Amino acid sequence: MKKNRNKKNILLSPQDRIGRPLIVMRKCADQVEHAKYCNRYFVDINEDICDKCKHDPLFRQELVENRINVLEQRLAKWTPCPHAKSERTIEKKCCGGKTSKVEIVECGLYNGTVEKTRCVTCERKYIISVTMSQHGIGDIICGMYVIAGAQKANPEAIIRYYTHKPDWAGLMDGIEALDIKKMCGVNNVKNFCYDYKGELRAKAVRKDWYSKVLNVKPAVPKLRNIKGIETPIHAQKPYVVIAPFAAWQQREWPLTHYMHLEVKLQKAGYKTVIIGDAGQQRKLRKNFSGACFWGQSPQAVCNLILHSQCVIGNNSGIAHLGGLLGVPTVAVHAQLGSETTFSLTNVVSVMPSNAHCSPCHFQMPHFIAACDRGCWALMGISPDRVFDTVMQTITIKKGAVA
């Protein structure tokens, strides 16, 4: 009779169902209260431990060790993750033994193959998930510099970058660019834009501010192979790319100034290529005489920029992209300083020379409600001054090539 009671208290692994048990595990001591939990098998990683068992250190110890034994018996040539043996200690340290799950699985990192399943410790160490909650292309590109620093500090890391524009984030090599909508349910995701107002008050360099999230030093990111087939517009060299629009209206240099600048560039012998979003088609065709492109893919935009003599824009995504690609770039802006915005690039800034309010960093008392409709200091920058800067930048490029 005693022997039969002992058999009832023994829980065989799922392999018993196919006739070959690998290990035996004891049930929870409370057979009545936790019966609906305790009659289950606690080998598969997706199954929960009952409330009583999860506070039982001895049971948890046996559970973790048994899982390791199962894996070793199931795969004779499998090399267990070096963290697996100490998983119980780490788990106890992190949650005091109160977690409802124990996850010990194969660690592909130490098997010489890349697998989706890793032990909990390896996942924390080698999978870095970050997001950029802002919609701007420039913000996404600034985040790339921080990710490049993380790649340099952790060469084996798998980095997942969640953004509103994954096609733009996908320009960077060595990362998983994912839509921010897929971030639901993902744990430990760090947001680069964690305190935008604090960044402005501190007048911080944007890339350095973002780097605090991962505690790394920003670096220049490596891009994928984005050079495509030359189109007819590429044969019309030399040409200059103009990006007259920005995500925020107060950052835009007046459209009439861009129109005057285009005329001066054409008189100097340069063709013009004007680019914008899909919704800006009418404005582009109405106000500019050069070749207009709207709603292009990131690869197509990069292709246009790489074949150009210079890129002209605001404090916007295209100016950041030009700096990232190493193409001579002139940015016309007023609210933020040059180093604050375009660090680690060769972007040439044209800022107001006599305005007492620039750079204001979007802060009172210089930044007021009227500034949202248009920056007075930005309006004071003349097309002649920007044209002279563009010509100097192109001349420097030609001298460097020669």
Residue 327: which domain range? 232-401
Greater pLDDT, 224 or 126: 224
221 found inside a domain: no
Of the ranges 3-17, 32-46, 137-151, which is most confident?
137-151
Tell me the angle at which helices 137-153 and 317-325 cross, rounded to the nearest 10 degrees. 40
91 found inside a domain: yes
Same domain, 351 and 258: yes
pLDDT at residue 201 greater than cutoff 60: yes
Which of 51-65, 227-241, 261-275, 289-303 shows the lowest mean pLDDT across its residues? 51-65
Greater pLDDT, 235 or 97: 235
The per-residue DSSP string of 238-295 comes to SEEEEE---SSGGGPPPHHHHHHHHHHHHHTT-EEEEEE-GGGHHHHHHH--SEEEES
CA distance 262 to 386: 11
The pLDDT value recorded for residue 95 is 44
The pLDDT value recorded for residue 70 is 54
132 found inside a domain: yes
Angle at 388 between CA 384 and CA 391, to 5 degrees: 140
Given pLDDT bands bounded at 50, 70 and 90, which one contains residue 105? Answer: very low
CA distance 389 to 385: 6
366 found inside a domain: yes
Domain count, the chain: 3
The pLDDT value recorded for residue 122 is 55
CA distance 31 to 42: 15
The pLDDT value recorded for residue 1 is 43
CA distance 204 to 105: 43
Q: What is the pLDDT of residues 123-180, one digit of tens each?
A: 555 678 899 999 999 999 999 999 999 999 888 788 989 999 999 999 999 898 988 8
Same domain, 352 and 254: yes
pLDDT at residue 319 greater than cutoff 60: yes
Q: Are 325 and 397 in contact (CB under 8 A)?
A: no
Same domain, 265 and 354: yes
In sequence order, what are the residues at sequence separation of 6 or more whose Cβ sits closer than 8 angstroms to the Cβ of residue 36?
A: none
CA distance 337 to 358: 8
Amino acid at 199: E
The pLDDT value recorded for residue 374 is 86
Greater pLDDT, 197 or 111: 197
Residues of the chain with pLDDT > 90, as a percent, come to 48
The pLDDT value recorded for residue 42 is 38
Average pLDDT over residues 340-368: 92
**Coil vs helix vs strand at 332:** strand
Same domain, 200 and 244: no
CA distance 37 to 53: 10
Q: Are 167 and 185 in contact (CB under 8 A)?
A: no
How many other C-beta atoms are found inside a 10 Å radius of the C-beta of residue 17?
Answer: 10
The pLDDT value recorded for residue 30 is 44
Same domain, 359 and 254: yes
The pLDDT value recorded for residue 292 is 94
Residues of the chain with pLDDT > 70, as a percent, come to 64
CA within 13 Å, CB half, 70 = 24
Greater pLDDT, 34 or 125: 125
Q: Are 106 and 112 in contact (CB under 8 A)?
A: no
CA distance 340 to 141: 14
CA within 13 Å, CB half, 340 = 17
Same domain, 185 and 88: no
Same domain, 63 and 138: no
Ramachandran class of 49: left when φ > 0, alpha when ψ lies in -120 to 50, beta otherwise: beta
**Cross-strand bridge partners of residue 293:** 275
Q: What is the pLDDT of residues 45-90, one digit of tens each?
A: 334 455 555 555 555 555 555 555 554 555 444 455 555 545 444 4
pLDDT at residue 187 greater than cutoff 90: no
329 found inside a domain: yes
**Coil vs helix vs strand at 111:** coil
Same domain, 149 and 103: no
Which of 85-99, 130-144, 364-378 shows the lowest mean pLDDT across its residues? 85-99
Which of residues 70, 87, 109 is at a domain's end?
A: 109
Q: Are 67 and 104 in contact (CB under 8 A)?
A: yes
Q: How many residues are listed for the chain in this entry?
A: 402
Same domain, 105 and 127: no
Same domain, 99 and 171: no
CA distance 10 to 24: 7
In sequence order, what are the residues at sequence separation of 6 or more whose Cβ sits closer than 8 angstroms to the Cβ of residue 174?
A: 151, 159, 222
